[in-house]
Amino acid sequence: MTALFDSFWPLLVLKVLVIAAVIPGVALVFIFAELKISAHMQSRIGPYFAGGRWGWAQPLADGLKFMQKEDLVPEDADRPVFKLAPMIVLMGTLAVFVIVPFSPKLIVRDLDVGVFYALAAGSVTTIGVLMAGWSSANKYSLMGGLRAGAQLIAYELPLILAVVGVVIQAGTMSMNGIVAAQIEPVFHLGDFAIRLPFLLQGQVIGFAIFMIAALAELNRTPFDMPIAESELVMGYLTEYSGIRFTMFFLAEYAGMFSMSAIAATLFLGGYYLPGVPAGALDWLGPLILMGKVTLLVFIIIWLRWTFPRLREDQLQSLAWRWLIPLALANIAVTAVAKVVF
């Protein structure tokens, strides 16, 4: 048994299967959380029917309903592209989880260029969105796709630049390495070692920029222009229904999960919580990480149900006039601090 798991391929397949099963499950939980939180923020009770108490089965019921629906492809659509788009979006989202460390050992692949990989894989979703927008043969979809493309170019840059600060501070691009760097004591108060996540080690601006850019990447309010229900109907999703829409839908929440997990790992100490003994991290780690992710997901949901959305040109000006200069300044300051201390 042990021998089997030590060998490369079976282990990889097992890990992939676990991710493919767990991530959509977690996404369902987040969907339910969004339904309930939004409802209560609006003085509503929200779903209360499916599954009995609290309507906990509502996302499952929605999923089942979507699966029963007829698979519609518009007549003028570019069929192969139209069909491929949701898969690429979902795949791009799931691929990010390869490098997310849930505990020191629970990681699919601790790549040396983990951060780089995560950002690259995450960007693939935008290709899928562009494909969806283009192939739908719908003007609203096209505009939504183009907006998503413009958003990608504008926000990929601050996202990467925000991470650079952390990478400089940690001195590694491996995700496990970054967490390890946050476990390292920053200084000692007597015998007591003070361990701080990078957020508290001066990366506040980096974290804020990362979260804003992540919202834009995820097309969440206040940056949901590619979907923009009141303007573009549903943007690139307009022509999708049934199972293909479900894939987009799952990808959105899985994306929230992955972005929050990366943010938690880079800035909030990942699976580590001060005071938890190193030995317990193997089994407590995933819980700690999930706790941090849940907090970030809650904030993302909270923002969505409070703010209106920006206009496309305002979003661009926010990115180019504010976030990118700020992120560059952040890198400079971090680099100088790294050399000085």
Stretch that binds other proteins, among 42-50, 196-204, 210-218, 282-290 (CB under 8 A): 42-50
Whole-angstrom distance, CA of residue 34 vs CA of residue 259: 16
Whole-angstrom distance, CA of residue 215 vs CA of residue 217: 5
Contact between 76 and other proteins by CB under 8 A: the answer reads no
Stretch that binds other proteins, among 38-46, 186-194, 268-276, 279-287 (CB under 8 A): 38-46
Whole-angstrom distance, CA of residue 184 vs CA of residue 193: 9
Say if CB 232 and CB 260 are below 8 A apart: no
Residues 245-274 that bind other proteins (CB under 8 A): none
Q: Residue 180, exposed/middle/buried by CB under 10 A (0-12, 13-18, 19+)?
A: middle
Q: Which residue type does 111 have?
A: L
DSSP helix/strand/coil, 187: strand
Task: List the beta bridge partners of residue 8.
Answer: none
Minimum distance of other proteins from residue 33's CB (angstroms): 12
Contact between 38 and other proteins by CB under 8 A: the answer reads yes
Q: Which is nearer to other proteins, 69 or 311 (CB)?
A: 311
- Window 204-243: contact mask with other proteins (x via CB under 8 A): -----------------xx-xx--xxxxxx----------
**Out of 7, 314, 325, 329, which residue is the one contacting other proteins (CB under 8 A)?**
314
Contact between 313 and other proteins by CB under 8 A: the answer reads yes
Whole-angstrom distance, CA of residue 287 vs CA of residue 283: 8
Whole-angstrom distance, CA of residue 102 vs CA of residue 51: 30
Contact between 307 and other proteins by CB under 8 A: the answer reads yes
Contact between 52 and other proteins by CB under 8 A: the answer reads no
Q: Which is nearer to other proteins, 45 or 204 (CB)?
A: 45
Binding site for other proteins (CB under 8 A): 37-46, 48, 139, 143, 221-222, 224-225, 228-233, 302-303, 305-314
